[in-house]
Structure 1
Amino acid sequence: MSMIHRPRRLRATGGIRSMVRETSLTAANLVYPLFVVPGTNVKKEIGSLPGNFHLSPDMAVEMAREAYDLGIPAVLVFGLPEYKDERGSSAWDMNSPVQQAVMAIKQVLPELVVITDVCLCQYTSHGHCGLLNGNKVDNDPTLPLLAEVALSHAKAGADMVAPSDMMDGRVAAIRDLLDRSGCSDVSIMSYAAKYASAYYGPFRDAADSTPQFGDRRAYQMDPANSREALREVALDIEEGADIIIVKPALAYLDIVRQVKDKFLLPVAAYNVSGEYAMVKAAAAQGLIDEPRLVIETLTSMKRAGADIIITYHALDAVRWL
């Protein structure tokens, strides 16, 4: 029997498969998150995120160096503060761990791109992402505080700030204050489509950011909606965002694809803590081939349209690549 079309011919060997591969995943696509805490010489594994650590600013430099030496171009810095209050004022304190870590990293690794998470949830005593009015998060009074957080990160040397709070108008408020303060070169990587997801559990443990009451569904997106995500992205671009984040990634690859098809800005997918923890738990049980599964998962995000992938797997993934 003669067949004109035999697709298997192009799958016959590793060399042929590599020649015709449509999607390439490289270290340059990855961003590695860091969790910084007060103190010195602190490196403590995070129980809910095995293989990731709470790091004092000095140790964050060492972990950032490891990422940089592997060819990873950027880190995303989260912080756990020394103190919390109703306003989250430690978030813009230049002596807080994020600002101290950014200064230390940029001094030693000036070529590494340092991105900082801009939110109040880790810093407020109530664990919500903005100021409260009763039991509701008050959007507009929160905006100047988020802008102050972003400015403090920029002053510390951050190359990009990444607002994750999902307040309406926060990109515009941040862009305005950065520009008026002489920081017009600092980029905004906006969590534009951030869903109210059950996949965030391990992160909230790692960042000590679980709300003291209620949840975040009044400001993070409903997982059932996709058109709303496009509206959120359009608004953030209009307000001055330079890069768009879709979060989570794995259950929202359709959103990544829609955003990529509709807009011209770079798109980042956040491979979040719950996605990571499930892989680690299955690997610990011997149920999966971890390296192969991780690369397949990250490749799916790239194939869906992500230019950038924020992932706790970054260091391992580069070695497995």
Structure 2
Amino acid sequence: MSSEHIRNEGIPYSTEYFDHININRSAVERRASSLPARRTVKKEYQAAWLLKAVNCIDLTTLSGDDTAGNVYRLCQKALQPVRQDILQALGFEDLTVGAVCVYHNMISDAKKALGSSSLPIAAVSTGFPAGKIPLEQKLQEIKASVAAGATEIDIVISRELVLNNKWEELYEEVKACREACGEAHMKTILATGEIPTLTKVAKASWVSMMAGSDFIKTSTGKEAVNATLPVSLVMVRAIREFYELTGVKVGYKPAGGIQKAKQALDFLILIKEELGVEWLNNQLFRFGASSLLGDIERQLEHYVTGSYSASYRHAMA
């Protein structure tokens, strides 16, 4: 992330900001369902939006069988996410993703693979994905990842605090994590698939931003349900209201289950309509994805050549 972006220092805890929230699920779902139906982009405009999507991807590998070789391939793809011949046909010389995202023990491998590149390294932390470890251990894990070279930290909240309406405890937990991050930017994962109501999603979003989160993020990618447009609508409107209150722009990261270029376009359209073009950059918007990049590259090749290629023709995404 650029150092020019103003970080979220947080605000003092107060329930007055979110006590009144009561989300109408049917209204949210109706609004979310209208986006793919009413908004679409074609031809050169679609290609431009897809290139924007590539630049906003946190290219991710979070598997139990990750190896140094996997991370090396991931990083090389992150540095050149779209084939050079396709980029040249589109009038582009250079393009990278927003960051690479790995487990803590893979940070050193990512640093080595990226060499002199300034591409950010994001590390998942705080007992990812369940977060079922003591707070002290969470803070130690964050500090260790920052010391190892991670410039972005993706934390997971303790979902039981949300389920039991322990909002002040959640605030203190996220605030402590923010302090442990130091100069590293912090993305706070709500794991919305494990939060039963949109009202609680909205309140958790508010508390996380109040505590100093630089981004709020939907999911770990390990839940049964991950990023959806209705959940995203609730979260980005909380971001908009926080900005109206404080003047601070908090970023948004949908993650998990976003595999197709058309889905990426839907999320970009949501951001443009609800937050505006100022959020359409990788300082304030990221996709958490692994397979999305492959489909976007196929769509871009189709735009250039008029033909779809088989997915196996594209390098690891």
Specify which structure has the bigger relative contact order, considering alpha-carbon pairs within 8 angstroms and separated by 6 or more residues: 2
TM-score by length of 1: 0.48
TM-score by length of 2: 0.48
Task: Name the structure with the higher strand share.
Answer: 1
Task: Name the structure with the higher helix share.
Answer: 2
